[in-house]
Amino acid sequence: MSRLHRRTLLGGTLAVAVSWLGAGAGSAQAAPAAPAAPLVRKPKLAVRNGFRSILARNGSAVRMPVQLGARMQVTDPVRPGSTVTLTWDDRLYTAGSRVQVSQGAGTVFSAAARPMVDDGTHTATLTVTLPGGLAAGDYTLAAGTLTPAPAQYPDDLVSEPVPVSITVNGTAATVSQDAADVSRPWGASVGAAWQEARWDAGFVALYPGLVTFRAVGPAALPAGSRIRIALDARVFTGVRVTGAYDSSGRELPGSAAGGVTGNLAVTTWTPGSAVAAGERVTLRTAVESGDITGALDTFEAPVISFSAPAAHRESQRVTGEETLTREDNIYSARTHELFAAQVPGEAS
């Protein structure tokens, strides 16, 4: 059974632009009668600060508003005692310590935010009563912000994210959106086996003899993804991919391009097709060394990076393993002092 409890949450403000359109009519009878409640039709929604896609465990995605709240356009006055209710996913949002309704630079209403949280469904519900109602005009209801990252990989996929909804006097509207156009979640993890290029007495530049990348799923790495290897061009005059193999050792087709740009010798490799979830690709590399002597004033650390076509980045899981580098190169007196003890045969 789900457990309900009350929680006071901290942090931020945000606003979703919402318009409620309605009309109210008084009685035409001679005898006095109480005015009828304004008709509150389904809100028209326009998110002010955009959405962020939340990737779900079932492979779907939902766009959540960056800000929790609403900019309300009131056409007919809202009666005193009316309620406003917000619901959201407690895993995804950080609510403010207070909920506020403002108009321009002034605060119309403010109260402590004490949402009810269902730990079983992760649904947070906050209801406030407007004691003075709202006259016709534009207002901002501020309640919180979308958490920058719900969880880190591999726990980044959200199970059944709760939609964001706003209810005024019983009339509800959903602010979040199903993202049917977002492809299934995918992610990449990069690795390398490092080798050394040496010159003079104890200078060492590291480069990847093997590069690996793995499709962490649940969907395949999209076609057109690429691996980029960049090395210091003063030490390496060129770098290229000499072979690509799947986890079974079978050679994979792909295309490569490279050259020297400024201080970098660069090569990129693109697989010939999408890489299935769970598959690991291994690239063998070869480098050409330059004719170099003595210490260097500066050095470009080797960088391996994975990138995907822009059309697929919204569904990309951030593993934190999309790039790889080594900072322990020995190219100067200072770096020799720092790192020489780590290199076999170099410690004094």
* Mean of the per-residue pLDDT values of the chain: 86
Asked whether the predicted pLDDT for residue 344 surpasses 90, the reply is: no
Strand pairing category for 61-65 and 4-6: unpaired
- What's the whole-number mean pLDDT along residues 193-204? 94
191/227 Cα distance (integer angstroms)? 11
Over residues 165-177, the pLDDT tens digits come to 988 877 888 889 8
Q: Would you kindly state where each structural domain of the chain is located, as residue ranges?
A: 4-178, 188-342
Asked whether the predicted pLDDT for residue 330 surpasses 90, the reply is: yes
Over residues 212-266, the pLDDT tens digits come to 999 999 999 999 999 999 999 999 999 999 999 999 999 999 999 999 999 999 9
pTM comes to 0.76
Over residues 22-77, the pLDDT tens digits come to 333 333 344 454 555 444 444 455 677 889 999 998 888 999 999 998 788 887 78
CATH architecture under which domain 188-342 falls: Sandwich (2.60)
Q: What is the pLDDT of residue 46?
A: 62
Q: What is the phi-psi region of residue 294: left when phi exceeds 0, alpha when psi lies from -120 to 50, beta otherwise?
A: left
- From the CA atom positions of the chain, what is the Rg in Å? 29
pLDDT-based confidence at residue 6 (cuts at 50, 70, 90) = very low
Residue 314: Cβ within 10 Å count: 16
Residues 6+ away with beta carbon under 8 Å from 191: 211, 212, 213, 214, 321, 324
Q: What is the pLDDT of residue 38?
A: 46
Range in 58-62, 195-199, 235-239, 324-328 with the lowest mean pLDDT: 58-62
76/171 Cα distance (integer angstroms)? 15
Q: How far is CA 123 from CA 4, 101, 179, in A?
A: 10, 22, 20
Query: Is the omega angle on the peptide bond into residue 218 within 30 degrees of 0, that is, cis?
Result: yes
Asked whether the predicted pLDDT for residue 159 surpasses 80, the reply is: yes
84/127 Cα distance (integer angstroms)? 6
226/19 Cα distance (integer angstroms)? 45
Quote the percentage of the chain above a pLDDT of 70: 85
Query: Do 4-178 and 188-342 show the same overall fold?
Result: yes
8/95 Cα distance (integer angstroms)? 8
Residue 154: Cβ within 10 Å count: 12
Q: What is the pLDDT of residue 308?
A: 97
Strand pairing category for 16-20 and 67-74: parallel
Answer whether 270's CB lies under 8 Å from 253's CB: no
Quote the percentage of the chain above a pLDDT of 90: 66
CATH architecture under which domain 4-178 falls: Sandwich (2.60)
Q: What is the pLDDT of residue 22?
A: 33
Asked whether the predicted pLDDT for residue 327 surpasses 60, the reply is: yes
Answer whether 72's CB lies under 8 Å from 140's CB: yes
245/233 Cα distance (integer angstroms)? 27
70/165 Cα distance (integer angstroms)? 10
pLDDT-based confidence at residue 164 (cuts at 50, 70, 90) = very high
Tokens 């959200």 — which residue? 158
Strand pairing category for 188-199 and 67-74: unpaired
Q: Which of 1-5, 70-74, 269-273 has the highest mean pLDDT?
A: 269-273
- What's the whole-number mean pLDDT along residues 78-83? 90
Provide the 3-class DSSP secondary structure of residue 150.
coil
